[in-house]
Structure 1
Amino acid sequence: MRRAASLALLGSCAFAAPVLAQQSDATDGLGSVESENPFGRDRNVSVLERRRPAYTPEPIRIGTIELMPRLAIGAGYDDNLYAQPDDRIGDAYLRIRPRISLVRPSPNLKLSLDGELDLLRYAGRTSENATQYAVNAGARYTISKSDTLDLSLRNGRYSQERVSPDSPDQATRPIRFTLSEGTATYTHVFNRLRVRGVLNVESRDYADSVTPGGAAIDQDFRDHTTYTGTAIGEYALSPSIALFVAGSLNRRDYRERIGPVPARDSSGFELAGGASFELGRKARGALRLGYLRQDYKPAEFEDVSGFLVRGELAYFLTPLVTITGTIDRGIRETGVNGATGYLATNMTLRADYELLRNLILSMGGELEKRDFNNIDRRDDRWTWRASGSYLMSKRMALRLDLQRRTQSSWGATPGRRFADDRISVGVTFSGL
């Protein structure tokens, strides 16, 4: 289950949308299990959700519009820039990320618009420089006390990480792609029952790269549009627990291919049931179990099916320590030659400690297991992170971030084995 954390701390520490910052970095934000819930489960507040009025940025108010400017500047060092098993090449980098957000608050129609630019510049390896951007727009229309309609649009240009399994080994520059997405969500709440319908359309367009010898590396075969429809019904047995059922259908349309490899068009579904809950004053979370399947149109491609599990749990060890765990298993698209996709299982565990009112320490780990379809390959990727965020004032925050990422791969066509370490420091200026 995907959650969007709405955190006061996020505005102070950083402002990056996840897709803009896949690598851990001192200009990133920090996530958490949200406490906002229609059934009022808010007896506990996590370390990252806790309000800090003395350190929360204040927007500039222009009539009914709230304007929030932010600027994050960071510098760091990556000791294995190309994610190679041997002959590691490192480089220092500078990252500048301005963002501006506009919000028109209203009880009936709330409007929002924000844009972010992400400039990544390396000291020596200028081929790895990236200029990314993202523009997001949203609207929440409160039709009645029981009915709401949420609309969101996104468009952005991104650079794929070298550590990604989809990144070609011989490419002289990272793969760039554009992403456009639109989502509509209708929610109806009646007494103890909440039902939601979600329609989502996402389109990705990948740019080609070249080898050191000048040969083209085709990436057009990855261009596709995904259509997804989801329905969720949730019933509260009590203020502390609710049961739900969820189902979704998707269609993934690739561009027509000319040549021996056909387009990887497919359709699939997910069916699941589960519960969201609050366990006294110590824990809050959700768990979804079910079945997923993806059927590929070309006969030479194998279909994928398996057990679905998605869950998250926030454990409030003390008022100053929150431990958060997540698990997510689903089918992902890939750019690896010969594979139609992979079954990914992600597990994370993180601890956040409020050492001081304005000093938050975090550390955690993530294991991502990939089982590729149509080829014999399995990957295990471990990521370890530690960070510290020091809120100096409403307008300024400092952050230190450490990350270690390793990957192992097995099978007849294994991927790369590598280890990559990164350290970065950053400062964020927000609001007035």
Structure 2
Amino acid sequence: MKRIKAGLVSDAFGGRAWLAISEDRAVCFVATATAFFMLFVSQANAQAIPLNNEDVAPPWNALQVFAPTPLPDFRDPDNSDPVPPEDMPVRNRQQPGYEPVGIRYGSWMFNPSLLGGGFFDSNVFSSSTTKHSDIAAVVEPKLRAHTLWERHGIDLKLDAQSMIYNQFSSLNQDNISLKGSGWLDVARDLKVLGSFQVAHLNEGVGTLSSPVNAISPTPYNLFSGDIAVRKEFNRLAASIGMGVKSYDYQSTQAQDGSIINQDGRDGQIYTVRGRLDYAFSPFLGWFASVEGNQREVRGTPGHTLDSSGYRALSGVTLGRANLLSGEIGGGYVSQQFDDPTIGTISGPSYHASLLWRPTRLLDIRARAEQLVTETSDTSSNGVLANAFQLGADYELLRNVVISLAGGYETDRFFGQTRKDNVTSTDARVKYMLNRFSSVSVYHRYTDRKSDIPTFSYEKHLVGVNVTAQF
């Protein structure tokens, strides 16, 4: 029995803005870049492709070449006004009077925050037969530190998270993560960017990459690093980069009290990537991106998960003022596994990410994605995942935002006869009391239907969070 190794697929990057030459644009970049480091690595969920993900904007798309890239602003930076909050996407905008204050020390700014909350899970083990519900408390202290330099920059984020269950104490878990990034302005049109993460995390019981009969989360250590160079040639922008992720999994406990060894999931993923963007006008552009990978995952005796492959996409970038933006692309994906029972997974690939803003109060997002990943539990499988997602963010009041999202994903397994269909929804309301505190409530629904009944389940997650920040 096995679960998808979703953690090796992708990381959640937050929304960021263009780092331009003018002081106003630099301020805009720092403000929106905050979202990238405010995201904490969450539990693995039912999908290989996350339902909620933030946009990536230059220059940070150099670290994630398959994220949509806004078209450049052709206005004179010396005569351009700063972007008002109402012209920013709803989920990223910070209205005056609700932004964090921060603590300044020289050229550094520190932003501490503390989240406390709880949630109800209707099926804590994601079981198809024996369903157990429980409530849990969540505590998440965070500290962000970033520079205020006119050029270059460093941004650090320290997160901790504790989950304490009321009835099933074996589900308790503690996570801690240190993320960092930096950028070096070599010249006006040349930037070097880098990021890293050192973390001790847990994959929750019942998630796709957890053993089916586990009663405790699966702890693991993550070490990752990325570096990229981005160069602009007037209307043409090019980037090239490389990265590595290293996973070290520990053991978990089974229902019968035995220990489940997870060393077979240890491994490294090496990537190299490049991207070209050309702007025909402020409303239309072209892109081409490619990423190659070498995956060295231990697997189980006789079933290695080592593989190598690539993904290449090309398409158009759209930017109709504040109305429609995003990109649509198609290409090819191929992943060749050393294990002959999996073989090579290849074929046409696609990617689409669009943002439609019919009004300044409403954002509608659409996304379609395909990628190849693998399971890495008690046996070996490759997975071809296809996801279609639709979401909306509505600013009911300046300090109240309502977000709704839904998704449908199909997971086709190679190495066994299995195909899963996943339907999911996510609804949340965020109420910002002032610049020091906010309250949010959310509901998540997941319904996985599998050819193998053991992997089918349905669950609801309802929670509330209170955040204090400075």
Q: Is the 8 A contact 2:299 2:376 kept in 1?
A: no
Kindly indicate whether residue 43 of structure 2 is the aligned counterpart of residue 4 of structure 1: no
Counterparts of 1:256 and 1:131 in 2: how far apart (Å)? 26
Q: Which moved more, 1:146-155 or 1:100-109?
A: 100-109
Give the aligned partner of residue 395 of structure 1.
436
More divergent stretch after superposition (332-341 vs 221-230): 332-341
Q: What do residues 256-308 of structure 1 show as CA deviations (whole Å, max 9, x unaligned)?
A: 86x4x232211101122112211354211112211010111233432111221
Distance 2:54 2:42 in 1: 18
Name the counterpart of 1:39.
Answer: 72
Counterpart in the other structure of 2:243: 200
Alpha-carbon shift at residue 100 of structure 1 (Å)? 0.4
Instruction: Report the 3-state secondary structure (helix = DSSP H, G, I; strand = E; otherwise coil) of the residue aligned with 1:306.
Output: strand
Does the 8 Å CA contact 1:204/1:224 hold for their aligned counterparts? yes
Aligned pair 1:16/2:57, yes or no? no
Cα distance, 1:136 vs structure 2: 0.7
Percent sequence identity over aligned pairs: 22
Q: Which runs of 5+ in 1 are unaligned?
A: none
Residue 176 of structure 1 aligns with which residue?
Answer: 219
Residue among 185, 194, 204 paired with 1:142: 185
Partner of 2:361 in structure 1? Answer: 320
Residue pairs, 1:2-401, within 5 angstroms = 4-6=14-16, 15-17=38-40, 19-22=41-44, 32-33=54-55, 37=70, 39-40=72-73, 44-255=87-298, 259=301, 261-401=302-442
Q: Which moved more, 1:33-42 or 1:224-233?
A: 33-42
User: In structure 1, what is the Cα distance between the partners aligned to 2:349 and 2:184?
Assistant: 32
Higher deviation after alignment, 54-63 or 40-49: 40-49
- In structure 2, give the amino acid aligned to 1:126: S
Secondary structure at the counterpart of residue 334 of structure 1:
strand
TM-score by length of 1: 0.91
Per the TM alignment, residue 362 of structure 1 is displaced from its structure 2 partner at its CA by 1.2
What whole-Å deviation, never above 9, does each CA across 1:186-230 have from its counterpart, x for those lacking one?
Answer: 100010110000201011111122323333322211111000000
- Is residue 132–residue 158 contact of structure 1 (8 Å, CA) maintained in 2? yes
Distance 1:362 1:9, change over 3 A: farther
Contact 2:205 2:215 in 1 (8 A): no
Residues 265 and 297, structure 2, Cα contact 8 Å, conserved in 1: yes
The whole-number CA distance in structure 2 between the counterparts of 1:255 and 1:242 is 42
Provide closer, same or farther for how the CA distance between residues 87 and 283 of structure 1 changes in structure 2, counting only shifts above 3 A: same
Contact 2:432 2:438 in 1 (8 A): yes
Distance, in Å, in 1 between the alignment partners of 2:32 and 2:233 is 33
Aligned residues: 421
TM-score by length of 2: 0.84
More divergent stretch after superposition (294-303 vs 78-87):
294-303
